[in-house]
Structure 1
Amino acid sequence: MQSVTLVGIDLGKHSFHLHGQDGHGKAVFRKKMNRKQLFEFFATFHTCLVAMEACAGAHYMARKLSAFGHRVKLISPQFVRPFVKSNKNDFVDAEAICEAASRPAMRFVTPKSESQQIHGLLLEFGISIPVGKAAITKLPAVLAEHPLPPHFVRTIERLHRHFKYLGDEIAETEREIDQQLADDDLGQRLLSIPGVGPITASVLTSEMGDGKQYGCSRDFSASIGLVPSQYSTGGKANLLGISKRGNKNIRRLLVPCARSYMKNLDRQTGCLADWVRTMLARRHSNVVACALANKLGRIAWTLATRNTVFDARAMPVSA
């Protein structure tokens, strides 16, 4: 290890890949570490040059490793990419960082101080939190565990209060929608359609009404732009993608409903589920999502005009 003069680090949120080489460019070691192991390694490692890409967390890492006595250089990712050999993986990236750092004409990025990073993300200060709303609620406790500039903490706390305010407003709006649908017979019947939630049901109720203004289910589907657009000439029919005409709000709701249904397809049964499985076997999932959104819209019209609820055992409306 004493022969190591340059260490390249491929940064990640929780795992870090290291490539160490000597003064002649010969590889000496490859290691994978978590954040704690990385700091413990460099705290006892002899002084050397450490190179990293200038990405999220790089400036914080540069300050930490510099405190251990190492010389740290940051490289713009666009200058590292040409040195990646063959297939790409984390260890190959770390080696490419070493190759780029050893070039005499390479340009480097100056590490930022804490005061220069106020407009950065928490990861720039070495704080990584899981994705999701539950992790955001624990943000004050996470901030208390890490030393951060006071004005940066105030900014994050202000954003956190705004996040809680928006969450409360959304929850209140959802409660009002649920109360409105509880007194609406059509809304309750639309909720029986798989994949359709309260928001979509309330919008369909207000926009479609009893559905009698449309001659058939295809007319309603065409009014929201979910049928194929046509470009026919010379007696030859040519159907393209969906037309995207009419009410785009309903279309934007039905497509996610279709994707939600497809995501949980393994738990779905009935004729509609069998039709989706057949379509997925021969068409791209994006095409199937639009086709299923078309079918959900036509089912919604059928429930509204015939005063019925969705039956998974019945044959779906023809597309």
Structure 2
Amino acid sequence: MTCTTVGVDIAKNVFQVHYIDEETGEIVNKPIRRAKFMEHFVNRAPCLIGMEACSGAHHWARQLTKMGHQVKLMPAAFVKAFNIRNKNDAADARAIWLAVQQPSKPIAVKTEVQQAMLALHRTREQLVKFRTMQINSLRGLLTEYGEVMGRGRAALDKAIPDVLARVAERLPATLIDTLREQWTGLAKLDQQIGAIERRMRMGVKEDRAVRAISDIPGVGMLTATAAVSMIGDAKVFRSGREFAAWAGLGPKQTGSGGKTNLHGISKRGDTYLRTLLIHGARSGLTHSKEPSQWLEQISKRRPPNVVIVALANKMARTIWAVLAHDRPYQRGYMSLKPAPTVALGKESTFR
């Protein structure tokens, strides 16, 4: 029994597959236990397998690719358009089967090393969020007793010793001890975040692609490692413009009747990568000692935030160019297409 296209809805324990048997024409939509999933495809002829790019999808894509199958990972938002009416495993598998046959840009299957770097990024991001929550919680609790502190970690560290000393005279010791423990716990979070960043720097030394894009102004260690890991294979994108649009840095379009209106950035794609690019552009714009002529001209015509997003878009295009063409970053490099040669006959004239 052979099949050409298979839709797979992956889950924790039970997977759902949908395909059409070419020999009998029967529509097959059945569940498969996780332990039997690889056994189901090991003896099949190579076929196209579609899956949503969700948890565990890259692992299964790597395993199926080793067997000779072609795996296409798709965003869940793209698959959702093909899910009609009920939302269950059978309907999801059928929607994936329909979606994988449509022309679309697949998500590159990531290696285990790339996923490991992204896991470090997610862990660090979670710790940073928890640290911010802890700081805001301390400020909010002490505001209940009339003690208002400035925003930010530096203002908190500077003011909280005196604040705790003042409120200790009228509040229970149990609360004061708890607040002091929460404050000292911020230092432990700093140590954990610092340890993760040191491990990321070790990865920078070993990855040539990360080192190459780290030379781009505004691209630091976090942006470089996240970009290389999320892109996977840069040649999946046809151009830097397409990669920038994939990151959500392109304009959103609306229109009808042949008229197209451009609005703000679409904010599609991964929010984390887009945030790093915009923060890097803001830092590069602020600390640039020798801004380019393009940056000086656009700064005269546009507001600061618009300039920052435009610079982030340009950084994304530059990242793609360095990775796709496997060349080092060169400041002031101009990519120009050669002018077409025109054969001139005897009757050709110049005017």
Distance across 1 between alignment mates of 2:234 and 2:226: 13
| 1:268 equivalent in structure 2 | 290
Letter in 1 for 2:293: D
1:251 maps onto 2:262 in alignment: no
State the alpha-carbon separation in 2 of the partners of residues 188 and 139 from structure 1. Answer: 41
- 1 CA distance for matches of 2:319 and 2:294? 17
Given the superposition, is the C-alpha separation of residues 144 and 238 from structure 1 closer, same or farther in structure 2, using an over 3 Å criterion? closer
Aligned with 1:121 (options 129, 139, 142): 142
Q: Which residue pairs with 1:277 in the alignment?
A: 296
Q: How does 1:197-216 map to 2 (within 5 A)?
A: 197-216=220-239
Q: Is the Cα contact below 8 Å between 2:280 and 2:312 reproduced in 1?
A: yes
CA contact (8 A) 2:210 2:224 kept: yes
Structure 1 CA distance, aligned partners of 2:146 and 2:157?
19
Q: Which amino acid aligns with 1:255?
A: I
Q: How far is the alpha carbon of 1:250 from its aligned partner?
A: 1.5
Superposed, 1:23-38 pairs within 5 Å as: none
Q: Is the 8 A contact 1:225 1:243 kept in 2?
A: yes
Structure 1 pair 139–151 and aligned structure 2 pair: CA distance change class (3 A): farther
Q: C-alpha displacement at 1:209, in angstroms?
A: 2.9
| Equivalent residue in structure 2 for 1:297, among 294, 309, 316 | 316
Partner of 2:38: none
Sort the Cα spacing of 1:175 and 1:215 in 2 relative to 1 into closer, same or farther, 3 A: same
Q: What is the CA RMSD across the aligned residues, in angstroms?
A: 3.0
Deviation string for 1:96-116 (max 9, x for gaps)? xxxxxxxxxxxxxxxxxxxxx
Aligned to 1:168: 191
The answer (yes or no) to whether the contact 2:204–2:221 under 8 Å persists in 1 is: yes
Identity %: 31
**Paired residue for 2:214?**
191
Q: Distance in 2 between matches of 1:160 and 1:226?
A: 38
Change (3 A) 1:204 1:233: same
For 2:252, what is the secondary structure of its paired residue? strand
**Residue identity opposite 2:263 in structure 1:** L
Aligned length: 196
Q: Are 2:254 and 2:261, in contact at CA under 8 Å, matched by a contact in 1?
A: yes
Q: 2:164–2:176: 8 Å Cα contact kept in structure 1?
A: no
Shift of 1:131: 6.0
Partner Cα distance (2:324, 2:317) in 1? 11
Compare CA radii of gyration and give the structure with the larger one: 1
Partner of residue 181, structure 1: 204
Please state whether the residue corresponding to 1:231 is helix, strand or coil: strand
1:134 Cα deviation from its structure 2 partner: 5.1
Check conservation: 1:186, 1:205, Cα contact below 8 A: yes
Aligned CA distance change for structure 1 residues 290 and 296 (closer, same or farther; 3 Å): same
The structural deviation recorded for 1:231 is: 2.1
Structure 1 residue 123, shift from structure 2 partner: 9.5
Q: 1:178 to 1:316 in 2, by over 3 A?
A: farther
Deviation digits for residues 208-246 of structure 1 (CA, Å, limit 9, x no counterpart): 134011111111111112111222333333222222222
1:288 maps to what in 2? 307
Q: 1:151 matched to which residue of 2? A: 174
Change (3 A) 1:228 1:138: closer
Mark the runs of 5 or more structure 1 residues left unpaired by the alignment.
1-117
Cα distance in 1, alignment partners of residues 160 and 307 from structure 2:
43
Question: How much does 1:175 deviate?
Answer: 0.6
User: Quick one: distance in 2 between partners of 1:188 and 1:310?
Assistant: 10
Contact 1:230–1:239 at 8 Å: present in 2 too? Answer: yes
What whole-Å deviation, never above 9, does each CA across 1:261-282 have from its counterpart, x for those lacking one?
12224x233xxx3212211211
TM-score, length-normalised on structure 2?
A: 0.49
Cα distance change on mapping 1:235 and 1:122 into 2, 3 Å: closer
CA distance in 2, matches of 1:126, 1:240: 44
1:112-169 Cα offsets, whole Å, 9 max, x none, are xxxxxx97427956685x7654565567854686462333421221111221121111
Alignment of 1:241 onto 2:264: yes
TM-score in terms of structure 1 length: 0.54
1:60-99 mapped onto 2 (5 Å cutoff):
none
Deviation at 1:198, TM superposition (A): 1.1
Give the CA deviation at 1:284: 1.6
Cα deviation 1:28-50 (Å, max 9, x = unaligned): xxxxxxxxxxxxxxxxxxxxxxx
Equivalent residues of 1:143, 1:153 under 8 A apart: no
Contact 1:229 1:241 in 2 (8 A): yes
Code of the residue aligned with 1:121 in structure 2: it is L
